[in-house]
Amino acid sequence: QVYLVQSGAEVKSPGASVTVSCKVSGYAFTGYYLHWVRQAPGQGLEWMGWINPNNGDTHLVEKFQGRVAMTRDTSISTAYLELSSLGSDDTAVYYCARDLPSVFWGQGTLVTVSS
Amino acid sequence: DIQLTQSPPTLSVSVGDRVTITCRASQSINSWLAWYQQKPGRAPKLLIYKASTLQSGVPSRFSGSESGTEFTLTISSLQPDDFATYYCQHYDNYPRPFGQGTKVEIK
């Protein structure tokens, strides 16, 4: 069975950085792109980009370029989303998903940015 | 970039009603459109892909159709479990935005 298990909730101060992890199991990690989607409280879904776990290539929505990094560690089948220079509008639940459209999603990680 | 315009934002309906949600793309997306259902605190659930292909395990009361750049999600007879928010998303190229969402609520 396919599982995507994300790291736990985080509370960060404005200007800080945060890293969210997504550990997969049940399939070949390098065989599918991993996408990241976020959802601010009470708002819609926002697609952020993807990482190709096979070679580390990434594609980010323009608004996140320079502030967001997507990486992976193939030895432990885990992808990472790092956001820097956090602002209050980064408060959101962050999801990883195996390719899109997908039935395989992580459970979501709440990142709260608050002073 | 391709834009998606989803409507209406909210639908107040009753159990048994027929529900129609529309998603309009700013240009051709070659049927590369998916529909998701999301409930509070949960990850989105894939309902339909390739505009009209029902994901395995999804009840047959859900259906998708397309006419040019206009896509429709229909729930033939709304059930209590269907009260949720619905999103479209294209996957023709990148970026892959979602529609704004349609909240289906109890009348």
What is the per-residue pLDDT across B78-102, written as a single tens digit (0 to 9) for each?
Answer: 999 999 999 999 999 999 999 999 9
For chain A, residues with pLDDT lower than 70 are none
Q: Cα angle vertex A89, ends A83, A93, to 5°?
A: 65
Q: What is the pLDDT of residue A60?
A: 96
| Closest by Cα among B100, B89, B93 to B35 | B89
Helix (H, G, I), strand (E, B) or coil at A75: helix
Q: Cα angle vertex A46, ends A44, A52, to 5°?
A: 150
Pick the residue of B47, B91, B100, B103 with the most A CBs within 10 A to test the interface with A by mutation.
B91
Q: What is the pLDDT of residue A82?
A: 98
Q: What is the pLDDT of residue B4?
A: 96
Q: What is the pLDDT of residue A92?
A: 98
Encoded tokens for A86 = 């956090």
Residue A92 CA to residue A94 CA, distance in Å, equals 6
Task: Tell me if B37 sits within 8 A of B44, measured CB to CB.
Answer: yes
For chain B, residues with pLDDT lower than 50 are none
Cross-chain Cβ contact A44/B100 below 8 Å: yes
| Closest by Cα among B14, B27, B35, B39 to B70 | B27
Q: What is the pLDDT of residue A48?
A: 97
Q: What is the pLDDT of residue A85?
A: 97
Cross-chain Cβ contact B55/A105 below 8 Å: no
**Is some CB atom of chain B closer than 8 A to the CB atom of A4?**
no
Q: What is the pLDDT of residue B23?
A: 98
